[in-house]
Amino acid sequence: MTQLDLAPSSPEDGPAAIETEADEAALQEHFDSIAELGRDPHTDVLERLGKDRALAMLQKMMEIRQFEQMAYLRYLQKEIPGTLHQSQGQEAVAVGVCTPLTDTDWITSTHRPHGHALAKGMRSDVAMAEIYGRQSGALGGRGGSMHLGDPAIGILPSIAIVGGGITIAPGLAMAAQHHGTDGVVACFFGDGATNEGAFHEGVNYAAVKKLPVVFVCENNLYGASTPFHETTLNVDVASRAAGYGIPGEQVDGMNVLAVLEAMERAVERARAGEGPTLLECLTYRYVGHSRGDSRGYRTKEEEKFWKDRDPIDQLKNKLIETGVATAEETDAAIAAAKATVKEAVAFAQTAPNASPESALDPSAIFAAPPQPQTIAPVLADGPEERKLSIADALREGLRQEMVGDDSVVLLGEDVGVPGGFGGAFGIYLGLAEEFGRDRVVDTPISEKAIMGVSIGAAIAGMKTLPDLQYADFVFEGMDELVNEAAKLRYMSGGKLSVPMVLRCPVGATQRGAQHAQSPESMFVHVPGLKVLCISDPYTAKGGIVAALRDPDPVLVFEHKLLYGSKKRQEAGSIDTRAYVPEESYVTAVGQAQLRRAGSDVTVLATFTQLYAALEIAEELAAEGVSVEVIDPVWLSPFDWDSLYESVGRTKRLVVAHEAHLTGGWGGEVAARVNEKFFGELLAPVRRVASKDVPMPFAPWLESAVLPSRDQLATTIREVCGLG
């Protein structure tokens, strides 16, 4: 191949894309790879396709090109709000990858999704209406350009977090495997995403479990404006597949026939149960990263090299040269694509805006919004032989659900080895032996993958219960949980649900700062997540069943000192054994629990503070003070009506939790109660919580940070005027 002069030919050409000989060598090697890959004429693929399908591919590539060009022009005219990321030049990858797929196969996409969505079957008019923010858009205006999707034809709303789909795709594939179909998932991402932790965790998970995923890297040389070779020593992305024991193939991403041929091999392998493939499509984005990107970091010669290999021109010329189609037929296909986009723009321009009311519809946030209800009565007692620990009650509820619903699957670290731990706290003991390792799935130590797989599988019809051992480890999967599980229903316009339950053991047990947090308050701040706090065995069984039957993502927080597990006895454990009915039952989502009736002061408490409050209430009763103790149970959705009814009677409120004081959920409760009862309260709302420092290890230091029983007792007395 002729060596390229990569320096700009004159000052007005802008700065060079390279600065060192090593940079030049890396870029030259990339160009050489493209030239070598492009030598295969792929005539046999064209003959197999036939004229109609080949012309359809040409038309679809032109439709994508024209869609993005027209969208950009309308964006500059301020008709389209928000932002817009284009992919002109990369059309061959989208069309080549999606052509072998069916409506029942899935794709996951990126913040640059237009081509992927159109290639998978989305109509241009509904796509254009979506980026205009219209009610008739694909997602009712909630997704816009960066979140195009349509689950009905296998398009997950695109994920704008770099690498975000790489952990979700294996979950969608796991569901296909679980349901016994031959479904395949194509996961699009850019070269920059290969340096995300999600890439390693997602690809490794799919490889280990032999899941039907095709990982498609659109390597266009740049992550935004940064050259890939400046951030990555091994720019041969396909070669990384060997590290996961799966095939990797580098493909000319400017040649739609080459992409199609490689994708057909990968899809055939996936449908046959042979596992994932990594495709690296060498391609180029003609335009900048976004509107403000003038591409000054590239040379004109570099851009010319790629535009001379334009994917639309290549296919058009190949069709004419081989006699598969005439020039008139190719021109007609191109004209039809342009007409389609013109009609799409006209449709979007005249369609009504999505109504502001639709943005606030509760059913858009939760598939199952809570129903109005009164507070649950004081827990009933029962025979001694049915008094269970929280650990036993959780296990019984899980087991009964797994018996009755084979879509329920547990997955996590150390959960499924027969004779093993049964999870960090022994909750799953015996379940792997009973249900098998396809239902109780041991995973790599990969929290992002565990969360992503659980979300993807839940979207595709399973009910997943991921286990990360400790609540502290949830932060490793925060992107998947907060940006995806919580938002996919809303972004999809209500077309998706994520029935996933994440168990989160919390609380200080002399393990130090990274195994002792109580982060439940953080998730109350995230619309789309439900937050359940389990403090007794009855709620443990009925609550975990309710969570597993709920169509929305639920985080279940449990305090380690309350389990009462025979397998693990913790210092300071509280005896929580209580009556639990043998039959399956559910507790109501969003319903608080009355633990003790009273008339002088309301105490709202969870976990260890709940049991301290009950003891203190018993003592104060002897002094003539009547304390009402309420367990909120659900922090989201919160039972405000029951709390307001109680405080409306007592005119006093103390909130107690082990979470830190600042930003703790008690602060939100205090604010709302003050707003509602300002001028009626007989004392200020008071909070008892952990001090605002990380949790230390030594018991005497830990106790200095935690809220003490004496502190709670003193606070209640002061609120009642006894201090």
Contact yes or no for 82/343 (Cβ under 8 A): no
Q: Say how many C-beta atoms besides its own lie within 10 A of residue 432's C-beta.
A: 21
Beta bridge partners of 534: 558
Which residues are CB-contacts of 426 (< 8 A; sequence separation ≥ 6)? 391, 565, 566, 567, 568
Domain positions in the chain are: 61-76+86-291+300-353, 384-579, 594-719
- Domain 594-719: which CATH class? alpha beta
String of b and e for 41-71 (b: at least 16 CB within 10 Å)?
ebeebbeebeeeebbbbbbbbbbbbbbbebb
| Nearest Cα to Cα of residue 425 among 526, 335, 505, 314 | 505
Catalytic residue among 515, 559, 657, 660: 515
Q: Say how many C-beta atoms besides its own lie within 10 A of residue 325's C-beta.
A: 23
Contact yes or no for 137/124 (Cβ under 8 A): no
CATH 3.40.50.970 fits 384-579, yes or no: yes
Contact yes or no for 633/593 (Cβ under 8 A): yes
Regions of the chain where pLDDT drops below 70: 1-41, 292-294, 296, 508, 565-572, 723
The SS3 of residue 36 is: helix
SS3 content of the chain, % helix, strand, coil (to 5): 45, 15, 40
Q: How far apart are the first and last CA of the chain?
A: 89
Tell if the pTM clears 0.75, that is, is over it: yes
Q: Say how many C-beta atoms besides its own lie within 10 A of residue 291's C-beta.
A: 14
Give the per-residue pLDDT at 542.
Answer: 96
The domain at 61-76+86-291+300-353 falls in which architecture?
3-Layer(aba) Sandwich (3.40)
Give the per-residue pLDDT at 15.
Answer: 34
Q: Strands 634-636 and 530-534, how do they pair?
A: antiparallel
| Nearest Cα to Cα of residue 120 among 163, 153, 151 | 153
Q: Would 61-76+86-291+300-353 and 384-579 be classified into the same CATH topology?
A: yes
Distance CA 670, CA 654 (A): 9
Backbone torsion region of residue 633, taken as left when φ is above 0, otherwise alpha when ψ lies between -120 and 50, otherwise beta:
left
Give the per-residue pLDDT at 195.
Answer: 85
The SS3 of residue 612 is: helix
Q: What Cα–Cα distance (Å) separates residue 183 from each residue in 154, 249, 692?
A: 10, 21, 49
- Give the DSSP H/E element, type plus range, for residue 654: strand 653-660
Contact yes or no for 282/251 (Cβ under 8 A): yes
Distance CA 239, CA 243 (A): 8
Distance CA 470, CA 29 (A): 46
| Nearest Cα to Cα of residue 116 among 175, 173, 73, 157 | 157
String of b and e for 628-641 (b: at least 16 CB within 10 Å)?
bbbbbbbbbbbbee
Distance CA 280, CA 670 (A): 54
Half-sphere exposure of 617 (CA within 13 A, CB side): 23
Give the per-residue pLDDT at 39.
Answer: 52
The full 3-state SS of 320-380, as one line of letters, equals HHCCCCCHHHHHHHHHHHHHHHHHHHHHHHHCCECCHHHHCCHHHHCCCCCCCCCCECCCC
Q: Please give the order of strands across the beta sheet that includes 653-660.
A: 593-596, 627-631, 601-605, 653-660, 686-690
Contact yes or no for 450/168 (Cβ under 8 A): no
Give the per-residue pLDDT at 33.
Answer: 60
Distance CA 613, CA 709 (A): 8
Task: Tell me whether residue 515 is one of the annotated catalytic residues.
Answer: yes
Indicate the length of the chain as a whole number: 723
Half-sphere exposure of 720 (CA within 13 A, CB side): 23
